[in-house]
Amino acid sequence: MNRRRKVFTAVTLGLAITPALLLIAQGPANAQGAGAELFQKKCMTCHADTAPAAVKGPSLKGVFGRSVASTIYAYSDGLKAKSGQKWTAANLDAYLTKPVDWAPGSKMRTSVADAAERAQIIDVLKTLK
């Protein structure tokens, strides 16, 4: 099945087309295929537009390089305290390692213990515009 057919199938099923879904649809030939799958599993449950309100996190579009806690969202005091910082690879790595340690009071409960997986997810975050 080619990429267009995969995207068309997703549209006909009523699925939201996100950059991560497009990366997954491109398959393993895409250098970020594994990272896109991790991103979909670990991040999009809460950060998708369709996430339940009880767990809905802020949009991750354009997050890389953006100031921390700079979009319209009810951020924790821990993240607000870091609003002068940018979401760099190092900050994202630290946050994804243990969110509540990097930003006390963080609402994010998902962490990524494996350094290689964090690097793959950060590579995907760099592409979301």
pLDDT in tens, 76-113: 999 999 999 999 999 999 999 999 999 999 999 899 99
Bridge-partner residues for 86, per DSSP?
67
pLDDT at 118 over 50: yes
pLDDT at 56 over 80: yes
CA distance 43 to 54: 15
| Location of structure tokens 């930003």 | 103
The pTM for the full model equals 0.74
Token couple for 76: 């924790």
Specify the pLDDT at position 33: 76
* HSE-up (13 A, CA, CB side) for residue 18: 25
What is the amino acid identity at position 36?
A: A
Torsion angle (degrees, nearest 10) of CA 83, 115, 125, 105 = -30
Specify the pLDDT at position 32: 53
